[in-house]
């Protein structure tokens, strides 16, 4: 995507921005929590070096324009409370996927919905995407809630797609078209 500028998106309560190594401790707090990775095919991080590697990869992907991973900063405190990323870009087809996580102390306050709305708006209106996809575990009700609040539609089901903490796990596929997004904004 040729139009990646330095990215800072602001919402009422949040700043979405590229991460720096100074975020490593906060990022580690998010992904070392077993509750956060409950539905991921990855184990909780066990040392802050995982966070440093992840930030280095995010910055590299950002430079290569292959992935945009925002750190979500809470304006009130300046803490990094999670991440949202646009990844798996197919520029020819104007689509990508979205991924997200918040630290568990920040669940239930609407921050994920607020952050994703800003990232989606950026994807559709700055990157000129036409479609954003998400792939979630059917047991992950909180994640489904965020997507459905934002207008994603359930499009498919793929059994036993992931190996998650010792068991096979299914996928529910969600999709959001720019036309759905713009229609909701107009309504």
Ligand X SMILES: CC(C)(COP(=O)(O)OP(=O)(O)OC[C@H]1O[C@@H](n2cnc3c(N)ncnc32)[C@H](O)[C@@H]1OP(=O)(O)O)[C@@H](O)C(=O)NCCC(=O)NCCS
Residues in contact with ligand X by CB under 6 A are 36, 39, 100-102, 107-113, 136, 140, 142-143, 145-146
User: Strand, helix or coil at 4?
Assistant: coil
Do the beta carbons of residue 169 and residue 39 sit within 8 Å? yes
* 74 φ/ψ angles, rounded to the nearest 5 degrees: -80, 120
Minimum CB distance to ligand X smaller for 91 or for 145: 145
Minimum CB distance to ligand X smaller for 142 or for 183: 142
Q: C-beta of 142: minimal distance to ligand X in Å?
A: 3
Cβ neighbours for 184, distance < 8 A, ≥ 6 positions apart: 151
Minimum CB distance to ligand X smaller for 9 or for 102: 102
* DSSP per-residue letters across 104-165: GGGTTSSHHHHHHHHHHHHHHHTS--SEEEEEE-TT-HHHHHHHHHTT-EEEEEEEEEEEET
Minimum CB distance to ligand X smaller for 2 or for 12: 12
Minimum CB distance to ligand X smaller for 12 or for 47: 12
The residue with its CB nearest to ligand X is 110
Q: C-beta of 184: minimal distance to ligand X in Å?
A: 15
Residue 40 exposed, middle or buried by CB count within 10 Å (0-12, 13-18, 19+): middle
What are the distances in angstroms from CA 6 to CA 70, 75, 112, 141, 181? 11, 19, 22, 33, 24
Minimum CB distance to ligand X smaller for 4 or for 97: 97
Q: C-beta of 81: minimal distance to ligand X in Å?
A: 9
């Amino acid at each position: 995507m040729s139009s990646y500028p330095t990215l800072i998106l602001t919402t009422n309560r949040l700043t979405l921005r590229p991460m720096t190594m100074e975020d490593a401790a906060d990022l580690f707090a998010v992904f070392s929590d077993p509750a956060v990775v409950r539905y991921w095919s990855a184990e909780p991080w066990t040392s802050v070096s995982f966070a440093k590697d992840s930030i280095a990869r995010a910055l590299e992907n950002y430079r290569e324009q292959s992935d945009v991973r925002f750190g979500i900063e809470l304006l009130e405190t300046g803490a990094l409370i999670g991440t949202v990323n646009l990844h798996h870009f197919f520029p020819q087809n104007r689509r990508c996927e979205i991924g997200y996580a918040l630290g568990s102390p920040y669940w239930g306050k609407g921050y994920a919905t607020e952050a994703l709305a800003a990232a989606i708006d950026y994807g559709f209106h700055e990157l000129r995407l036409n479609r954003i996809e998400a792939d979630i575990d059917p047991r992950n009700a909180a994640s489904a809630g965020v997507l459905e609040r934002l207008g994603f539609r359930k499009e498919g089901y793929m059994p036993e797609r992931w190996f998650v903490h010792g068991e096979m796990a299914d996928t529910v596929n969600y999709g959001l078209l720019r036309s759905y997004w713009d229609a909701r904004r107009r309504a």
